[in-house]
Amino acid sequence: MASGGKNRLNKDRGPLRQGLYMGLVTFILSIVLTLMANSILTLFGLVAAVSILFLIIFTGIVFDIIGIAVTATGESSFHSMAAKKVFGSVQAIRLIRHADRVSSFCNDVVGDICGTVSGAAAASIVFNLFLLGLVAKQAVASLLIVALVAAFTVGGKAAGKYFALHRCQEITHRVGCLLAWLELKLGLQILAEKGRMRRR
């Protein structure tokens, strides 16, 4: 009975430890990337601020697509590709076996960071517009730009979700190819082997 209780406690600690780790990573990355974005925006002004804002929104949408695609893809479809030594197929299998972590990183960590940094970029745009005399009321401009950022982000993710679900295998394979290329260049395995085959 004591042994069973101990095993249950260890299982319960797994998700808690992972949640704390992801929270810490998000906290650190949010601070670093926000400081970097603010520095770039201060140096280069309005045009850079708008460009960076769209880049941040696009990054959040792309990672959201990856997280959904990996979660939706069946592992069995890649086994024949791996047997034929198709480039990136082994990495795609590892992505699927780590689907919970991939989804958490792509959808939650990167998504939250992009939301935080896009807010900083939006504030910088409003400030620059106010300094240039292009807006009279900073509060109204801030409200409109934040609403536009939210609309682009939500609309882009909605369109991306459809794309991710209907082309999940292709997207997962492409990400697997990217991981395979990085592993060749860096000389290390990015995702460890894990678990058994998960069928769709």
Rounded Cα distance between 47 and 57, Å, is 16
Q: Which of 29-33, 50-54, 156-160 has the lowest mean pLDDT?
A: 29-33
| pTM of the shown model | 0.77
Rounded Cα distance between 36 and 56, Å, is 13
Rounded Cα distance between 7 and 180, Å, is 36
For 3-149, strand residue ranges (E) read none
Mean pLDDT of the region 4-9: 47
Rounded Cα distance between 20 and 8, Å, is 19
Mean pLDDT of the region 47-62: 87
